[in-house]
Structure 1
Amino acid sequence: MLLITTPTGNSGRHVVNQAIRAGKTVRAFVRDASKLHPDVASHVEVYEGDLQDERALQMAAEGTEAVFYCIPQSGEPEDVRRYYQSFAEPAARALQAACVKRVVTISGGKGDPDDIGPSGPLAAMEREFNNTGVATRHVRCGYFMENFLYTVPQLRFRNSFSLPVSADYPMALMAAEDIGKTAARWLLDSSWDGQEGVNVPFGQSTSCALIAEVFSEVLGKPITFLPITGDEYKQMLMKFGVSEAMGQSLKEMFASIHDGSIGDATGAAHQGGVTLRAWAMDHLKPAVESPDSFHG
């Protein structure tokens, strides 16, 4: 029996689909069961509950061998470290009490709790799980391609996109699908033990200048990359409803990208991964062209 949290999330939905395809018995822990796709709901045992509820998570984990655990993304926290801590601490206690053998988490950075941006709180999460003695694999992510969906209004109306990096700086891009598949591979493998951070194979390592070229080809119009400062990026995020604290954290994340703390921007492209062009065709182009896109 496998327990999968956030089965409707960017990565979790790919994990649960991989587990179902592998013929595993799956228990899905979800805040709102009505959001589960019917094809998933019909193949899993559903536990509805809050991930911050230690007792609920422990009950869901009872009798399971391995757990996929992901802290839900939110743009609203007023204290980013406390937000991650409020999930990690009860989860570590719950899964230890349930005698789970293996845990696979979604993380980021290089496992240093002192890192700035979200990487520090995620590293602290890793430490909470490691302190339990449970075998763990922390899947450390680079920059989600899905984050480009937040540039849809600028792409649609201004034919441009902006990030607080230089045009020629290579970023490790990866699709949520690859992140989910990497996590699922570890979740489905019962042969490992110990505690490690593992990287995600990514479609390509590329600069924003080259990203603009790909977007131009996919969208059929010239797209320009316009660099902005970290403070400008933070203000842009806050206009979309992101809290000041989270805006500051994401500003710091890009500083970490520049100093090499997030992702492996120099690694070789993973041949089996989702390329930026393929992702943009499947996800970005429909969002830019749809008048009903929630990003518009």
Structure 2
Amino acid sequence: MRIAVTNPTGNVGRHLTRTLARAGIRPLLLARNPENIPAELEPFVDVAQADSQDAAQVAAATRGVDALYWVDPSVMSADPLGDYARATDAVVRAVQENGIGRVVFQSSVGAEKRHGVGEIDGLAATEVALDALDIDITHLRCGYFFANLLLDLDSLRAGRLTTVLPVDAPMAWVAPRDIAEVAALTLLNREWSGRRVQAVHGPEDLSWAQVAAILSSELGRDVEVSRVTDDEMLGALRGAGMPEAMAHAVLGMSTGMRVGFVPEQERTVVTTTPTGLRGWVREELLPLL
């Protein structure tokens, strides 16, 4: 089985690539910048240059592929949903032109709403487009990445976290490595067919207040979380250099699920993965602070 992996240097892709190699698979890595693939992987992978928003490049790179792990890349953009639409066009063209019969798509909790969830609307559109094809498709509806905390290193050093969500509202948090494990198992398992939705919820639902308490304990200093207004968050996102449409799309991922949202998939043994926030903080966050 020839398996292709997009965004192979991303939070999930870098773990997925190594997991497939350990399983005896030589994955094909689709990379916009192949020079960024670690040299240590070269004996175990094949690499093709392809921008996931370029349909012609993706179609050319995936000839002979049986199964595809697809990620809609999120990049700093003045037209984020347009970028998602271009990525959707690229994966659809590749599947149709090359007869790729099996796709695992990295989606998100919230995509089931289809509209009104900021950037996640782009993932929802990809889900719909893939569902319309005559293929076996699994959508991984992932929780909030632990790795998103890495975007706030300066704030963490100052002992601050901010959110537009109620600080006591629990939600699914997940380690990217756990998503990679589920992705690898799904790609390698030949027993499923048709359309599937597989949630990846992490080990437990956590509120921002609980996250702050865990960080305080593990970092050895107080970390406080405060709820800010939507306008304050927009100002912070703009201050970080985000174009206007991108800032609103990022904010919408939180505000779109703020009131009354319940994930389509319940937490079960199937959706629950093992890596806890404390362990992730010790392994991934502390070395950077």
Q: Same fold (TM over 0.5)?
A: yes
In structure 1, the residue matched to 2:88 is 88
Cα deviation 1:50-69 (Å, max 9, x = unaligned): 22222222222221210111
- Equivalences for 1:74-85 in 2 at 5 Å? 74=75, 76-85=76-85
**Pairing 1:230–2:226 present:** no
Unpaired segments of 5 or more residues in structure 2? none
Cα deviation 1:166-198 (Å, max 9, x = unaligned): 221112111111122121211111222111222
Unpaired segments of 5 or more residues in structure 1? 289-296
In structure 1, the residue matched to 2:142 is 141
In structure 2, the residue matched to 1:107 is 107
2:27 counterpart letter in structure 1: V
In structure 2, the residue matched to 1:256 is 256
1:247 counterpart letter in structure 2: A
TM-score by length of 2: 0.92
Change over 3 Å in CA distance of 1:260–1:96 after alignment to 2: farther
In structure 2, the residue matched to 1:182 is 182
1:286 counterpart letter in structure 2: P
Change over 3 Å in CA distance of 1:251–1:53 after alignment to 2: closer
Change over 3 Å in CA distance of 1:27–1:107 after alignment to 2: same
Offset, 1:151: 2.0
In structure 2, the residue matched to 1:124 is 125
What is the alpha-carbon distance in structure 2 between the residues aligned to residue 67 and residue 10 of structure 1?
17
What is the alpha-carbon distance in structure 2 between the residues aligned to residue 58 and residue 283 of structure 1?
35
Offset, 1:266: 7.3
What is the alpha-carbon distance in structure 1 between the residues aligned to residue 86 and residue 121 of structure 2?
14
2:71 counterpart letter in structure 1: C
In structure 2, the residue matched to 1:243 is 243
TM-score by length of 1: 0.90
Change over 3 Å in CA distance of 1:181–1:197 after alignment to 2: same
3-state DSSP class of the match of 2:103? strand
Offset, 1:262: 7.4
Offset, 1:276: 0.8
Offset, 1:263: 5.1
2:239 counterpart letter in structure 1: K
- Equivalences for 1:47-86 in 2 at 5 Å? 47-74=48-75, 76-86=76-86
Residue-pair matches, total: 286
What is the alpha-carbon distance in structure 2 between the residues aligned to residue 29 and residue 130 of structure 1?
23
In structure 1, the residue matched to 2:152 is 151
Is the contact between residue 20 and residue 184 of structure 2 (CA under 8 Å) also seen in structure 1? yes
Offset, 1:271: 6.6
